[in-house]
Every structure is written in structure tokens, then in C-alpha cells.
Amino acid sequence: MMDWVTQHTRPIVDSLIYSAVGTVILLLFFWFIEKVLPFSMQKEIAEDHNVSLGIILAAFIIGLSLIISSAIRG
């Protein structure tokens, strides 16, 4: 049992670290995009019910997440 723990501890810790780094990078890019846009995304989606902006934002987050995931895996 102890042999299994020593073999799998490093990959588990690496996965947790990479997940945290990937999340931070995703949030930084989201913050950057929010600052660059000439309008408020929160107002457009919540108050004006702009569905198309929500879809584009979701596609952006999914695409960036895939890029970060691929970069981490190598």
C-alpha cells in the first residue's frame, strides 16, 4: 500500500498545481478581455439579456481552457 502512495503522490500533486495555475491564467485572461472591451459584459448579459454575447463568452472560455489544458499536458 505504501508503495502505491509513493508512486501516485507526485502525479496527484502535479495535477493539483497545474489545475490551479490553469485556473489563474484563465481568470487573468477573462479579466483582461473584460477590461479591453468597450462595454460592460455584466450589463450586456444580465440587464440587456444579450444571449449572443453569452454564447461568444462561453466559447472563449472553453477555447482558452482547451489551450491551457493542451499546454499543460505537453
Instruction: Please state, in angstroms and rounded to a whole number, the distance separating the CA atoms of residues 58 and 55.
Output: 5
Q: What's the mean per-residue pLDDT of the chain? A: 84
Domain boundaries, the chain: 2-73
First to last CA, the chain: 30
**39-70 per-position pLDDT tens digit:** 888 888 889 989 998 898 899 889 888 887 78
Instruction: Please state, in angstroms and rounded to a whole number, the distance separating the CA atoms of residues 68 and 14.
Output: 15
Which pTM does this prediction carry? 0.68
